[in-house]
């Protein structure tokens, strides 16, 4: 049973004439008659009583007509939804993002959403190690993550920017006038650091192992906006990547003098996977947001 056969059947039922139905379907009558006969064979019933040039629905035909109309309507609705999705009038994007790249995500959404208000988002904040399985399983369309190791041959990593580890301080903090700061110089201050599992924490832990400095943080957080609030309200010194606060004009970022290896932020997709237009357009907004913010250190 084919969709065109259902359309021929509906037109024939409405016109009660195969010749008229063929004209309306832009086919010759023999083609239409053959397709309806094939439909009857597939269904195992007679749909029309044929009397001369006129045709009339059988009881089976009358039962089948609303079902055929519903099937054709559902197919047309599906086709229109796919068209709308391709034109970005509808659809859904599933995006994974590491906590330290929330501000990049926000800026990309600011660029994308006014252009395509019909596209909905499912956004998941996860650690990089948790994002990769979701990306591979198809639960995410794309992801934004820092690289602290190889992703694998099946993951396409488009570089966005590199970002160094910094001390984040309020403009009124005594350290704010410094150009940079060393780890030992942070000892007198209350310090907040990224929680374990965050990419910036990998960078910090590696730096502490290399230098042998014993940092005594006041708190660990996995949410950058709370960390920023603590910087302002409590004069906390936060250790995080510079890119995490690129849109915060009232935050001073002091590079950690001992830190020489920046982190690489990347846009992640699966190699060879079909890329919908919504994915491509949002990826373009991510790249634009990265360039616009001059994130590269």
- Digit-coded pLDDT (tens) for 69-86: 999 988 888 887 777 777
Domain ranges of the chain: 3-86, 92-162+264-292, 165-261
* Rounded-to-integer distance, Cα 121 and Cα 91, Å: 9
Query: How much is the pLDDT for 112?
Result: 96
Computed from CA positions of residues 142, 271, 295, 254, in that sequence, does the dihedral angle turn out positive or negative? Answer: positive
3-86 matches 165-261 in fold? no
Average pLDDT, the chain: 89
pLDDT tens-digit profile of 200-255?
888 899 899 999 999 899 999 988 888 888 998 988 999 988 877 766 678 899 99
What CA–CA distance (Å, rounded) separates 201 from 223?
A: 12
Q: How far is CA 168 from the centre of its chain?
A: 30
pLDDT band at residue 147 using 50, 70 and 90 as cut-offs? confident
Question: Quick one: fold of 3-86?
Answer: Arc Repressor Mutant, subunit A (1.10.10)
Instruction: Report whether pLDDT(61) > 50.
Output: yes
Fold topology of 165-261: D-Maltodextrin-Binding Protein; domain 2 (3.40.190)
Residue 296: pLDDT band with limits 50, 70, 90: very low
Token output for 270: 């699966």
92-162+264-292 maps to CATH 3.40.630.30? no
Q: Is the pLDDT of residue 150 over 80?
A: no
What is the arithmetic mean of pLDDT over 114-135? Answer: 91
Between CA 45 and CA 47, with CA 46 as vertex, the angle to 5 degrees is: 110
pLDDT value, residue 243: 79
pLDDT of residue 103: 84
For the segment 276-294, what is each residue's pLDDT rounded down to a tens digit?
889 999 999 999 998 876 5
């Amino acid at each position: 049973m084919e969709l065109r056969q259902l359309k021929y059947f509906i037109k024939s039922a409405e016109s009660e004439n195969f010749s008229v139905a063929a004209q309306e379907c832009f086919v010759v009558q023999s083609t239409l008659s053959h397709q309806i006969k094939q439909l009857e064979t597939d269904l195992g019933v007679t749909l029309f009583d044929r009397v001369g040039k006129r045709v009339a629905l059988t009881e089976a035909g009358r039962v089948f007509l609303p079902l055929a109309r519903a099937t054709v309507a559902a197919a047309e609705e599906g086709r229109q939804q796919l068209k709308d999705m391709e034109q970005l009038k509808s659809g859904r994007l599933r995006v994974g993002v590491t906590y330290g790249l929330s501000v990049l995500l926000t800026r990309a959404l600011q660029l994308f959403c006014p252009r395509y208000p019909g596209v909905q988002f499912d956004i998941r904040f996860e650690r990089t190690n948790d994002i990769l399985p979701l990306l591979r399983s198809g639960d995410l369309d794309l992801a934004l993550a820092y690289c602290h190791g190889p992703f694998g041959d099946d993951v396409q990593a488009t570089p966005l920017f590199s970002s160094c580890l910094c001390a984040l301080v309020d403009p009124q903090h005594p350290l704010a006038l410094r150009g940079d700061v060393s780890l030992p110089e942070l000892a007198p201050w209350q310090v907040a650091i990224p929680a374990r599992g965050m990419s910036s924490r990998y960078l910090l832990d590696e730096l502490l192992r290399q230098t042998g400095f014993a940092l005594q943080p006041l708190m660990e957080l996995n949410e950058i906006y709370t960390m920023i609030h603590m910087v302002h309200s409590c004069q906390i010194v936060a250790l995080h990547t510079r890119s995490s606060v690129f849109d915060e004009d009232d935050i001073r970022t002091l590079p950690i003098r001992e830190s020489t290896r920046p982190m690489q932020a990347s846009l992640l997709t699966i190699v060879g996977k079909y890329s919908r237009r919504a994915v491509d357009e949002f990826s373009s907004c991510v790249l634009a947001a990265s360039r616009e913010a001059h994130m590269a250190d």
